[in-house]
Amino acid sequence: MTKKIAVLAGDGIGPEIVAEAVKVLKAFKQDGLDIELEHGLIGGAAYDETGSPLPEATLEMAKQADAILLGAVGGYKWESLDISVRPEKGLLGIRSQLNLFANLRPALLYPQLADASTLKPEVVAGLDLMIVRELTGGIYFGQPRGIRTLENGEKEGYNTLVYRESEINRIGRVAFDIARKRQSRVCSVDKANVLECTELWRETMTTLSKEYADVELSHMYVDNAAMQLVRAPKQFDVMVTTNMFGDILSDCASMLTGSIGMLPSASLDENGKGMYEPIHGSAPDIAGQNIANPLATILSAAMMLRYTLDQPDFADRIESAVSKVLDQGLRTADIFSAGMTRVSTAEMGDAVVAAL
C-alpha cells in the first residue's frame, strides 16, 4: 500500500535540506518504494501565510500521513512575535498533538570526520550513542506557566516541571528496548539531588529496570552527564532523559561528531508512527545560500525508512551512500577541512543519490 509522507520544510535552511532528502526518497521509487509526498506549511512560513505556526490543514495532513519529514523552524524575523504564535510553537504543537513522546537522537561519528570534531580523535573515534529524549512532557509543557506581575509591580516568569509515572515508564521502555538491540546499557540522566520530579524519574526507572534484567541501568546527574559527554563520551550506550535535559545534551553530543549538520532524529508515538527531522535548527544566517549540510536530513529519511516504513534495506543504502560520499572527500562548509572537496547543499544531495 502507498505510504503517505507529509513533507514540512519550514523556515531558514529547511526548504534547501528537505529538498535533498526528498531527492533521495524519490530515487527509491524506481526500486519499488511506494510513497506519496504531500507538502505542508509549518513554523514562520506558515505564520506568514495563515497567521498560525501550525495551521489546521498541516495538522490534519500530519495526522493522516504515515510519516512526517520536517526541516527546521524559526528565524530572526519571528523572534519578536508573541510566544503563542512563534515558529517553535508549531513544532511543539505537532509533537504534542501527535503524541510523539519518544525522541531518538543518535550520535554516530563517521570515521571520515574524526578530525572535524573539536575533541581529540581518540576521544571520539568509534563513538556511537543514542539519546532517548522524552518529548511531549516535562517543563516544555507543564502547567502553570507564564509571566505575571507581582503586587510590587515586578514581573515574574514561571514554568512547571512535571512528570507522571506513566510518562516515565513509557519513555523508559523505549530506552530499554533500544538498548537490547545495542550494548544493553542505559544511563538515565536526572537531577534527583535537587528536583523532586526527577527523584520520581530515578525511582521509576529503577523499578522499571527490574523488567529488563538483561539491561544494565545506571543513573547520572545532568551536570555530570554534560561533563562526561565531553570527557569520555564512549562510556555511553543509551542515555534516557527528560525533555529539557535531552534538548541540551543532544546539542552537546552532536558536536562530538564534528558537526550538528550530521545528526538525524526520530520522534515516535506509541505505534511507531514518526516525525523525522535533523536535530539542528533553521540556521537563518546561512539560509538561501545553498551551503547548508543536508546529510542530517537525508539520514533522517533513512531513520524514517527504518522505524516507520519498515524498509531497513533502503535505510542501509542511504547510510552507506553517506559514508561513500564522505570517503570521496565531499564536504559541505560545516565539515570542510584541508584537502577535501567543498560542495554545495544540492551537490551533496546529488552525490548521495549517485552513491545509492
Shortest distance in whole angstroms from residue 184 CB to ligand IPM: 27
Which residues sit opposite 265 in a β-bridge? 277
From ligand IPM, Mg ion, none, interface partner of 274 (C-beta below 5 to 8 A by class): none
CB of 135 within 8 A of CB of 239? no
d(CA 13, CA 195): 37
Please calculate the CA angle 142-144-146 and round it to the nearest 5 degrees: 105
Determine the size of the site formed for Mg ion (CB under 5 A): 1
Active site residue 247: yes
Question: 102-108 and 128-134: which strand pairing?
Answer: antiparallel
* DSSP letter string, 129-171: EEEEEE-SSGGGT-SS-EEEE-TTS-EEEE------HHHHHHH
Is the distance from CB of 109 to CB of 330 less than 8 angstroms?
no
Rounded Cα gap, residues 80 and 88, in angstroms: 12
Name the 3-class secondary structure at 13. Answer: coil
Check if 89 is active-site: no
Q: Among residues 6 and 279, whose Cβ is nearest to ligand IPM?
A: 279
Q: Choosing among ligand IPM, Mg ion, none, which partner's interface includes residue 75 (Cβ < 5 to 8 Å by kind)?
A: none
Restricted to residues 239-258, the positions that interact with Mg ion (CB under 5 A) are 247
Residue 184 beta carbon to Mg ion: minimum distance, rounded to whole angstroms: 28
For residue 131, the minimal CB distance to ligand IPM (Å) is 11
Rounded to whole angstroms, the Cα distance separating 246 from 330 reads 31
192 touches 163 (CB < 8 A): no
- Footprint of Mg ion on residues 171-190 (CB under 5 A)? none
Nearer CB in complex with ligand IPM: 136/204: 136
Residue 74 neighbours by CB under 8 Å, 6+ apart: 11, 12, 43, 44, 86, 87, 88, 281, 282, 284
Q: Which of Mg ion, ligand IPM, none is residue 168 near (CB under 5 to 8 Å by kind)? A: none
- Cβ at position 295, least distance to ligand IPM in Å: 17
Closer residue to ligand IPM, CB minimum distance, 92 or 298: 92
| Site residues, ligand IPM (CB under 6 A) | 74, 88, 91-92, 247, 279, 281
The active-site residue out of 34, 223, 310, 313 is 223
Instruction: Name the active-site residue from 110, 140, 163, 307.
Output: 140
Q: Which residues contact 346 (CB under 8 A, 6 or more apart)?
A: 16, 19, 20, 290
Q: What residues have CB less than 8 Å from 181, skipping those under 6 apart?
A: none
Select 257 or 311, whichever has its Cβ closest to ligand IPM.
257
CB 354, min distance to ligand IPM, A: 30
Is residue 167 near Mg ion by the rule CB under 5 A? Answer: no
* Partner touching 91 among Mg ion, ligand IPM, none, CB below 5 to 8 Å by kind: ligand IPM
Select 167 or 277, whichever has its Cβ closest to Mg ion.
Answer: 277
Which residue has the closest beta carbon to ligand IPM? 88
Work out how close the CB of 88 gets to ligand IPM at its nearest, in angstroms, rounded to a whole number.
4
Q: Which residues are part of the catalytic machinery?
A: 140, 191, 223, 247, 251
Site for Mg ion, rule CB under 5 A? 247
